[in-house]
Structure 1
Amino acid sequence: MQKILIIEDERDLADLLAFNLEREGFKTQVSYDGAEGLASAIHCQPDLVLLDLMMPGMPGTEVCKNIKKSERTCETPVIMLTAKGEEIDKVVGFEVGADDYVVKPFSTRELMLRVKAVIRRSRRETESRSTLKLGPLSIDVERHQVTVNGREVAFTGTEFKLLQTLARRIGRVQSRESLLRDVWGYHFVDDSRTVDTHITRLRTKMGVAGDLIKTVRGFGYKLEIHQD
């Protein structure tokens, strides 16, 4: 389920947005403060952020700038919400990295359509990217080549596909069942030890980058970049 982070200091509006997004099938998290919202974005790595421009403390422009600067969230799409509709305000929003800009008051239906469109666009851009760079790890999708700190590491076709799948969903936990389906093409499998065996081999081959793959006990795995 895709997660939307709402950063909005008007509690009634934030709760209304959460209600409508959840009705559309999204999971939501709400922050009523800019600094708190930024921390939540970096920690939870949502699929999209709805961000109010005018907030006390840390304004939306600063929040957006920092979201786009962080290695964990630089690819996270941001839709800016604001009562300001002047062209210069939109320009500023896009300059700090916003992916879309919605002026209050807006129709709920229009916002839902924009959210879905931005997520689709972001997913297409991620999937079309030929090189994935994640800390010491670099994955050249077209060449099927992986390097760790500049040193090439050899993987089998299945190992490469498994690593690529985790990398494209960085920070998001993948169940063993979903990995079996997406990497191996299995749909009805009771024994998921195949995934565990391949994860162990991946970690061993990746050396110092192997601990980027985290085990989520009782569920599956995720690839996560360390934060200082």
Structure 2
Amino acid sequence: MRIAVIDNTPEQAELVHQALASGGHACTLHASGVKGLAPVLPEDADLLIIDWQAHPSSTPDVVRAIHGSRPALPILLLVGRADEDGLLAALAAGATDYQVKPLRRGELVMRVQTLLKRAYPQRQADVTVRFGNFAFDANTCRLALNDVPLDVTQKEFALALLFFRNLGRPLSRAYIQENVWSREADVPSRTMDTHVSRIRNKLGLRPENGFRLAPVYSFGYRLEQLAR
């Protein structure tokens, strides 16, 4: 879906853009506009993400202006811990939800997906991501191979989708933990290894099936598609 982002921090804006792109969404960045006034957003935007620091002293006014012109548009705020005191005013003005910084990619994608499902339930059924014979339904966390459903947990689904979206690219343990386990602190290495082993077996990610899901020494894991 189409997501508009108001963020004056280039580094964070790029992180948001990459995270949303990995989730299959189109992301456009917009200037913050004049203090206290809402910027002009594209009519086809399905969701708005606004960083609190884009309007440090008038975010509730900006949210109120946007919500007044487009009341059905979900609005997600990105806030620092020091900004939480003002959240009630922003939520009362029409913001839908918020996420505390520093941002975690996996959590951001899941939060955005939840808001989109809630706002557009009629548009969610057809959202399926395909990689060869694998079909991932991100809305229901259902995974199928050759149209045959596979029995996977939500974490196994998220882990498999992460590997397929980064096919051929080595992923560090820290990156995997951030995207699959989000804020769950101190996830044991054996937990990640167990989940990797399970999706390797359940999805048949072995050389005889054209894939290799292997550890990268002292780094993490990589899923490769082998030449037939």
Question: Which TM bucket (shorter chain)?
Answer: 0.3 to 0.5
Q: Scaled by the length of structure 2, what TM-score is found?
A: 0.48
Q: Scaled by the length of structure 1, what TM-score is found?
A: 0.48
